[in-house]
Amino acid sequence: MVLDLTDVTPFLTWLFGLGWTDGAIFGLIPLIVVLLLVGGGATWLVAAIRRGRGATSPRAGAIVSTAMAAGIGLAVAGIVVWLLLPAKTTAAIQPAFLDGAAWLLGSGWYHGAVYQWLLVAACAAELAFAFGWLASAVRHGPVVAFATAGQLAGDAVLDTLRISPRRVAALAGLAVKESIRRRVIVVFAVFIVILLFAGWYLDPKNPNPARIYLDFVLTATSYLVLLLALFLSSLSLPADLKSRTLHTVVTKPVRMSEVVLGRIAGFTAVTTLLLLPMSAISYAFVQRGLAHTHDVLIDDLQPVRGSTPGQPASLQGRTTVVSAHSHKVFVDSATNAAAVEMEQRHTHSLPLQKITVGGKAMYRTGPAEGMLVARVPVYGKLAFRDRTGQPAEKGINVGDEWTYRSFIEGGSLATAIWSFQGITEDRFKDGLPLEMTIESFRTHKGIIEKAVLGSLLVRNPSSDKNKPVTVEIFGAKDFAIDAHKIPRQWQTAGGKKIDLFKDIVSKDGQIEIWLRCDDRGQYFGCAQADMYLRASDASFAWNFVKGYLAIWLTSLLVVSLGVMFSTFLSGPVAMLATLGTLVAGFFHDFMLRLATGQTLGGGPFESIGRILNQENMTAQAAPGVATTVAQTLDAVAKFGLYLLAAVLPDFSRFSLAEFVASGFSIPGDTVLTYACRTFAFVLPVFVVGYLCLKNREVAQ
Amino acid sequence: MQPEVIIETRSLSKVYRDFWGRQKVRALKSLDMEVRRGEIFGLLGPNGSGKSTTIKLILGLLFPTSGQALVFGQDAREVTKNQRIGYLPEESYLYKFLNAEETLDFYGRLFNMPRAVRRQRIADLIEMVGLNWAKRRQLKEYSKGMTRRIGLAQALINDPELILLDEPTTGLDPIGTREMKDLIIKLKEQGKTVLMCSHLLADVQDVCDRIAILYQGELKEMGRVDNLLKVRDVTEIRATGLTPLAQEEIRLAIERNNGHILNMDNPTTTLEDLFLKIIRESEEHPGRRVRGVGERT
């Protein structure tokens, strides 16, 4: 997978330069700071734990404060040095593929997500320290505040290290009991009711019913569970504060870290307990909802045109209509072998069963096949050749607003070439199963029912002299996955025998697959992800579980956010704040674009002006006082937005439902990335929640 | 040698502020006091005098505006002190959806107590507060007195050295009040230290060794109860079996010594004692109407 730094957290781009530019923070100075902090902190910690006392003494606080202040000083010095240095040339080459744990632990000059996360955490800790010192200084003066802030930082570390599993378990158990008392089971009932009536609304005529079913269950589950997580987590602590039950709890030897962690753990347990049966029921619902068989009346079967009359010939016919579709069936009357044509992205398993219903003999197909799949695609890299056969960066733009696909011209040498790696004989024993989604673009109508013709060629990339070899000529299907197979052996039109692995695939397992459009004046549009080799299918059930795992991870994040907000806000306000974070997180990309000025019409204030003046978004703003004021305000707003976008989790990336619904296996490292991203956010959220609760007067 | 100091406050002050930081109330003004091991200390004062504020500051539920509260020599905000503290809040703030056993089990787990110890302790405490018959009922079904008892049980779950009781007798009937007072004295006998606050003067007088009287956040009086209440220029004689003649003789003897008789009468009992006597007798002879002490003579 191609890794983007912003993947880990957008905060980085703000702090450490954009894209792949190495920020100053990556240099030696911060490393020294981190080492200083870690070293000093560890020494002090060992001493504190040995002393066996909880509260950090003012003296220890002052030491911690000194270390923190030194950290801030060094960081500031680092930034100043960086600003003074001449601009560095950017490392323009992106490492295209980072496999396995490299994105996490780093490889080469890339330091890895963990390192960056630690760095960000250290910076955030410094910021929190500075903020704590300021807040304390306002009330107690700068000197006392110096010790206080250090004490607070020390206590935070101690309170985190001394968390007792038994107490957390007790508090989590209480949260679960509270949830049960709040009738969590109602959510489950609602889910069942929704499923019961879902059949009325799910359109059976859709060309891809599996997608509709999967989309539906995954969406329904995630909305219900996320809403529940939101309600439970944000209302619980404020209710406890209001009813003062928290007084009795915190006068026991309970650390605030345990109170916060207990809630998070408890409510996560509730969502987990709810998700387990929900996923099982959803799975059964999808399986049962899509299961069907068809019948074919034997008398209705017609001989295939071209077969000799009187001979036992191949027969063809259509099945009965079930779930708003029927299949074309071919039966060889001699051998009884049969074939069922693909419809609504599935066929039926064979053999056909002979049955008699109401005195009529008919065949019955097996259960549906290929509806619920988890394809494991092998993607290649796409390159283009122009109409003269010369390498080109892109194909032709046919004026489509969506520039995702690039087009190749029919009846010319224009070609789209996908290069694949890692093709070995033991991986593809039966040849290369190929799937593609090609968009045809017609400049003239032609025979509208006739598909635009294209040809598939393969080439051995080991030498430039190798010529491409035609495999197949096909009619392009629009808006559908077109499945082909490159066989192990075939004969060219010239009568030459070709062996796939001997002649075409290079020794290091590479192959080029060429696509050309054969109809003059028509075009094929393609993008890199449009063609892939379908190596093998992963287990659909396991893929389904992964989809639910993503929902679980999101709910964990929502629970943490809800608990964090509820440590300093009242119930309804905490809920709104969490909801706001969720919504803003879903529009994360837009916020970032707005903040970096990539949207048309300027920032929020300039846009308001344009709306009032009924100005076009693309028009240059007329110079004047109003424009200057608006743009100045925008600059401030954009900076605020940038900061906000930097801290917020990008929720739009937290769903894996699309993978499951469109029938692709979720890669393992994607799940791992999601999990890491979730915990990268949950941890600081927990710390913030702890600090807020710790510094709050429970009895106020 | 004086016993060790358990609670110490050093010019402890608390100002309640509103959202904007404006001063609303000065709840406590520079309180200095000490509670020593093994004594029952009472905080006395009318509503709003700062008693609860003091207790909450000592527990770390509130943070002092200035000054310091020390418990077992540690700052009041330090959680580890709670290991040795039991606290009965003003109203028992407990989770209503738990039953008595679950409640005690929950608080026991917060003390990191192993399961076996917890079980034994819970059984003992439920027995002690007399809730054995209702231990499986959710607390929302409990009466005020029962809630108070289970509140007391949770305060004692860790066998604390220091017990803080916020208005321990409010909401209790006379029997409950007496039992609570007996229990407090029993705790003292076990060597525990008790800090209680109350506005019911009789309760404080009955059990406390030392008291502090707060009014509008200021300490007005502090000392041993017997010293504070002793009326030094009045002598009290209580005797039984005196004939009217003998009484007359005593009266004369007092007058001879230039004494002045303020009052000489048959004493009345307190209403509390009367009430408890009636209850006791009806338990001994169920179904019979008991004539009061006054009627019998």
User: What pLDDT digit, counting tens, does each position of B198-257 carry?
Assistant: 877 777 888 888 888 888 888 888 888 777 777 777 777 778 888 888 888 888 888 888
Contact A252 B107 (CB under 8 A): yes
Q: Which residue of A has its CA nearest to B155?
A: A248
A-B interface: how many C-beta pairs under 8 angstroms? 89
* Burial of A302 per CB tally in 10 Å (0-12, 13-18, 19+): exposed
Contact A699 B154 (CB under 8 A): no
Greatest mean pLDDT among A45-49, A172-176, A601-605, B259-263 lies in: A172-176
Looking at residue A429, what is its pLDDT?
80
Question: How many CB atoms neighbour CB A379 within 10 A?
Answer: 14
Contacts of A479 (CB under 8 A, 6+ apart): A207, A437
Q: Measure A135 CA to nearest chain B CA, in Å.
A: 13
Q: Which residue of A has its CA nearest to B76?
A: A55
Under the banding of pLDDT at 50, 70 and 90, the label for residue A96 is very low
- Cβ(A526)–Cβ(A437) under 8 Å? no
Under the banding of pLDDT at 50, 70 and 90, the label for residue A615 is confident
Contact B110 A254 (CB under 8 A): yes
- Cβ(B53)–Cβ(B164) under 8 Å? no
Could you write out the DSSP letters of every residue in B119-133?
HHHHHHHHHHTT-GG
User: What pLDDT digit, counting tens, does each position of A211-241 carry?
Assistant: 888 989 998 999 999 999 999 999 989 998 8
List residues bridging with B166 in a β-sheet: B197
Looking at residue A1, what is its pLDDT?
38
Looking at residue A549, what is its pLDDT?
92
Looking at residue A554, what is its pLDDT?
92
User: What pLDDT digit, counting tens, does each position of A465-512 carry?
Assistant: 888 888 888 888 776 778 888 888 888 878 888 888 888 888 888 899
Q: How far apart are CA A647 and CA A601, in angstroms?
A: 25
Output the six-digit token pair for A583.
């919504």
Looking at residue A656, what is its pLDDT?
84
Q: Which of B70, B78, B91, B110 is the best residue to mutate to test the A interface, defined by the most A CB atoms within 10 Å of its own CB? A: B110
Q: How far apart are CA A376 and CA B4, in angstroms?
A: 74
**CB within 8 Å of chain B, chain A residues 171-200:** 171, 173-174, 177-178, 181
Q: Over 70: is that where the pLDDT of B1 sits?
A: no
Looking at residue A51, what is its pLDDT?
52
Q: How far apart are CA A152 and CA A159, in angstroms?
A: 10
Output the six-digit token pair for B273.
């004692």
List residues bridging with A498 in a β-sheet: A490
Could you write out the DSSP letters of every residue in A492-533?
-TTS-EEEIIIIIS-TTS-EEEEEEE-STTEEEEE-GGGEEE
B61 reaches A (C-beta below 8 A): yes
CATH of A405-526, one of 2.60.120, 2.60.40, 2.160.20, 2.30.30: 2.60.120
Contacts of A468 (CB under 8 A, 6+ apart): A457, A458, A459, A512, A514
Give the closest residue to B154 by CA, choosing from B140, B167, B164, B143.
B164
User: What pLDDT digit, counting tens, does each position of B175-191 carry?
Assistant: 888 888 888 888 889 98
Question: How many CB atoms neighbour CB A498 within 10 A?
Answer: 18
Q: Which residue of A has its CA nearest to B158?
A: A252
What percentage of chain A exceeds 90 in pLDDT?
14
Looking at residue A52, what is its pLDDT?
46
- Cβ(B140)–Cβ(B175) under 8 Å? no
Q: Which of B15, B61, B91, B161 is the best residue to mutate to test the A interface, defined by the most A CB atoms within 10 Å of its own CB? A: B61
* Ranges assigned E (strand) in B1-152: 5-17, 23-36, 40-44, 66-71, 74-75, 85-88
**CB within 8 Å of chain B, chain A residues 210-249:** 243-249
- Cβ(A413)–Cβ(A387) under 8 Å? yes
Give the closest residue to A537 by CA, choosing from A651, A678, A378, A374.
A374
Q: How far apart are CA A417 and CA A390, in angstroms?
A: 12
Instruction: Please give the span between the terminal C-alpha atoms of chain B, in angstroms, as a whole number.
Output: 51
The amino acid at A513: I
Give the closest residue to A211 by CA, choosing from A371, A391, A27, A404.
A371
User: What pLDDT digit, counting tens, does each position of A304-348 carry?
Assistant: 776 565 555 578 888 888 888 888 888 887 777 788 887 888 888
- A177: chain B residues, CB-CB within 8 Å: 95, 97-98, 102
Output the six-digit token pair for B59.
């527990």
Q: Measure B195 CA to nearest chain A CA, in Å.
A: 15
3-state secondary structure A652-673: HHCCCHHHHHCCECCCHHHHHH
A246 vs A448, higher pLDDT: A246
3-state secondary structure A430-449: CCEEEEECCEEEECCCCCCC
Q: Which residue of B has its CA nearest to A140?
A: B66
- Cβ(A256)–Cβ(A160) under 8 Å? no
Any idea which residue has 């028509």 for tokens?
A522
* Burial of A699 per CB tally in 10 Å (0-12, 13-18, 19+): buried
Round the average pLDDT of chain A to a whole number and report it.
81
User: What pLDDT digit, counting tens, does each position of A418-476 carry?
Assistant: 998 888 888 888 888 888 888 888 888 777 778 888 998 999 888 888 888 888 888 88
Contact B98 A178 (CB under 8 A): no
Q: Which residues of A13-22 are buried (b: 16+ CB within 10 A; e: fewer)?
A: bbbbbeeeeb
Mean pLDDT score, A544-566: 93
Q: Over 80: is that where the pLDDT of B96 sits?
A: yes
Q: What are phi and psi of B30, to 5 degrees?
A: 45, 65
Closest CB from A174, A248, A253 relative to B79: A253
Under the banding of pLDDT at 50, 70 and 90, the label for residue A7 is very low
- B83: chain A residues, CB-CB within 8 Å: 253
Looking at residue A54, what is its pLDDT?
47
B5 reaches A (C-beta below 8 A): no
Greatest mean pLDDT among A303-317, B150-164, B260-274 lies in: B150-164
Q: Report in angstroms the alpha-carbon separations of B255 from A186, B246, B262.
A: 85, 14, 12
Closest CB from B62, B79, B111 relative to A697: B62
Contact A167 B62 (CB under 8 A): no
Contact B110 A250 (CB under 8 A): no
- A247: chain B residues, CB-CB within 8 Å: 61, 87, 89, 93
User: What pLDDT digit, counting tens, does each position of A258-305 carry?
Assistant: 999 999 999 999 999 999 999 999 999 998 888 888 888 888 888 877
Contacts of B77 (CB under 8 A, 6+ apart): A55, B60, B63
**Domain parsing of chain B, residue ranges:** 5-229, 235-297
- B98: chain A residues, CB-CB within 8 Å: 174, 177
A139 reaches B (C-beta below 8 A): no
- What is the CATH superfamily name and number for domain B5-229? P-loop containing nucleotide triphosphate hydrolases (3.40.50.300)
The amino acid at A626: A
Contact A174 B85 (CB under 8 A): no
Q: How far apart are CA B57 and CA B59, in angstroms?
A: 5
B159 vs A129, higher pLDDT: B159
- Cβ(B32)–Cβ(B11) under 8 Å? yes
Q: Which residue of B has its CA nearest to A697?
A: B62
Q: How far apart are CA A553 and CA A568, in angstroms?
A: 24
Cα-based angle A51, A54, A56 (whole degrees, multiple of 5): 85
Under the banding of pLDDT at 50, 70 and 90, the label for residue A584 is confident
Give the closest residue to A304 by CA, choosing from A326, A327, A330, A328.
A330
3-state secondary structure at position B235: coil
Any idea which residue has 């549906």 for tokens?
A368
What percentage of chain A exceeds 70 in pLDDT?
87
Contacts of A547 (CB under 8 A, 6+ apart): A218, A656, A657, A659, A660, A666
Output the six-digit token pair for A189.
């009932």
Q: Over 70: is that where the pLDDT of A34 sits?
A: no
DSSP tally for chain A: helices H, then strands E? 19, 24
Q: Measure B57 CA to nearest chain A CA, in Å.
A: 9
**CB within 8 Å of chain A, chain B residues 138-197:** 151, 154, 158
Give the closest residue to A119 by CA, choosing from A242, A248, A24, A221.
A24
Give the closest residue to A500 by CA, choosing from A571, A434, A563, A592.
A434
Mean pLDDT score, A25-53: 61
Looking at residue A76, what is its pLDDT?
78
Q: Measure A294 CA to nearest chain B CA, in Å.
A: 55
**Domain parsing of chain A, residue ranges:** 1-162, 295-366, 405-526
Contacts of B239 (CB under 8 A, 6+ apart): none
* Burial of B207 per CB tally in 10 Å (0-12, 13-18, 19+): buried
Contacts of B165 (CB under 8 A, 6+ apart): B88, B155, B184, B194, B195, B196, B197
- A164: chain B residues, CB-CB within 8 Å: 112
- Cβ(A110)–Cβ(A98) under 8 Å? yes
- A151: chain B residues, CB-CB within 8 Å: none
Closest CB from B74, B112, B158 relative to A55: B74
Q: How far apart are CA A587 and CA A592, in angstroms?
A: 9
Contact A164 B112 (CB under 8 A): yes
Tell me A468's DSSP state: P
Q: Which residues of B186-200 are buried (b: 16+ CB within 10 A; e: fewer)?
A: ebbeeebbbbbbbbe
Q: Measure B234 CA to nearest chain A CA, in Å.
A: 46
Give the closest residue to B213 by CA, choosing from B49, B91, B23.
B49
Give the closest residue to A69 by CA, choosing from A142, A151, A154, A129.
A129
- Cβ(B164)–Cβ(B151) under 8 Å? no
Q: How far apart are CA B273 and CA A287, in angstroms?
A: 77
User: What pLDDT digit, counting tens, does each position of A624-636 carry?
Assistant: 888 888 888 888 8
Give the closest residue to A280 by CA, choosing from A190, A183, A188, A182.
A188
**CB within 8 Å of chain A, chain B residues 70-89:** 74-75, 77-80, 82-83, 85, 87, 89
Output the six-digit token pair for B215.
């009014």
